[in-house]
Structure 1
């Protein structure tokens, strides 16, 4: 699978552009913004490569993974935005209240204006649901894109946040793991919504459910490593 990777935002998030057809893609965790001096970089990449984003999918709602939402929604009006319900309050018009909790913990409150009054979610990700089912009431896809979406499954993996998810493609042996699985590590659990016991259960769920030769593409740093070699 030809995933396109852009590192965006103040913490160098791995923003993935996932192909669905020759021209249609979905975008995972857009993080570009004016604070990091890369605002519009995801949109520029899409337009310069003649790619049409048909959905934005958020692996979780932490500030560093969502700050690119406004530019994408503005540039592609009507594009659906999907997140797990348990993280949905971290975006939308009241996002500043919850984002401020984690930003205060990290001493990074200067970033609050960039994750305030964000676009609302239009769709919700549910455990084991196929992406074509998540977007079944949305008509903005070609038939080829719908077929490709049916290969992707949502895995609810709480622990980094309550609403953290991974996206698993068994056919292509690909896992977009957000901040749940990193290279020889896993996501921190000391911020708002985090739980060490829950993330350990989520890691066991991934190891049990996913094929061992699955390639893992996390939300930061090294990517494309095999699941079986990671733990």
Structure 2
């Protein structure tokens, strides 16, 4: 897949390529997602919003951490919402999971609804990140935890698809952005692994995981 097309699919998987792109993203990001889930300190009764879950491959891993966890996934891609509903049909029927199409720039949820929020590899696509973060903070309960993970600019800038619509950040830039939006940075974690990128190539990944309090 040409870099420009891959960049577009990573932003919003759609059409005949969508399912294959989602599977590649799952493979590339499995270890990172597990790390983020662990850092959110999920407990019984938590209500979690995930922004950009793709096909929802890791939903069961979240729900099974503790009893009575409720999950909501919001994704830009209609195709991904349909696939996530299909893959997680059991949890949807149990009333434990739901999926909606939409953008975190205009979250369609009530104020103070979630006490945990997770987003992985979406920051690059936010044209006005402060608007997205204001919405995320609005829908969070006081002292709720927000986990945001993204590839460090030092690593990402070498990837061939990045010139086509990716806004890159390092840890300091992202922390400053979060603080200016009213979040308190609790901890930062550097996740490093050698694994497949979305191009299918082996790369040394440097990922920033930031845990914030609303």
TM norm. shorter chain > 0.5: no
TM-score by length of 2: 0.41
More strand by share: 2
Which has the bigger relative contact order, CA under 8 A and spacing at least 6?
2
More helix by share: 2
